[in-house]
Amino acid sequence: MAKEIERKFLVKDDGWRAEVSSSSDFLQAYVASGDDRSVRVRIMDGARARLTIKLGRNLLARDEFEYDIPLADAQEMAANAVGIVLEKTRHEVVHEGYTWEVDVYEGTYKGLVVAEVEIEDEDAEPELPDWVGKEITGDRRYSNVVMATEDLSGELCHGLSSAAR
């Protein structure tokens, strides 16, 4: 069983853009969700797809299972998504030995920019880049499954410049 341990932050400025090593467009749709689990399908660059199952209530560390699936299956699942289909571009940025994933949202959540870093254990303290703002690890509003199943765009996308600090 794979364990995902990650911290999440708002992004306060564009300082990360000069350090991007790769980028990918995502369409992310939830097939099912519950209080302690979610099943999502992600289509990457319109060319490949993955099915992900996450288990656990803790937003810092959860069990995670991921599988490549046929693109046509993913497209059909996305067409039957629960709630909002999330659209974002994920940019990878390496900083002080950690790979940061900066998600720039489009569509319903246009304007929201969030950075995540996967860590080796819950006590790890990666060096924070200057462009990282307020930590939102554990804030359920910024969980992708919550963003997909509850429209929080009005709350999360307005006044971001001051909230990111």
By C-alpha distance, which of 39, 35, 43 is closest to 53?
Answer: 39
CA–CA dist 113, 91 (Å, integer): 11
Name the E strands within 35-95: 37-44, 48-55, 61-69, 86-95
Alpha-carbon Rg for the chain, nearest whole angstrom, is 15
Q: Please, what is the Cα angle at 115 between 87 and 146, to 5 degrees?
A: 50
Instruction: Exactly one of 30, 105, 109, 142 is catalytic; name it.
Output: 30
Active-site residue, 30 included: yes
What torsion do the CA atoms of 17, 18, 19, 25 make, to the nearest 10 degrees? Answer: 40
CA–CA dist 51, 39 (Å, integer): 7
On whether the CB atoms of residues 39 and 29 are closer than 8 A, the answer is no
- Which residues are annotated as catalytic? 30
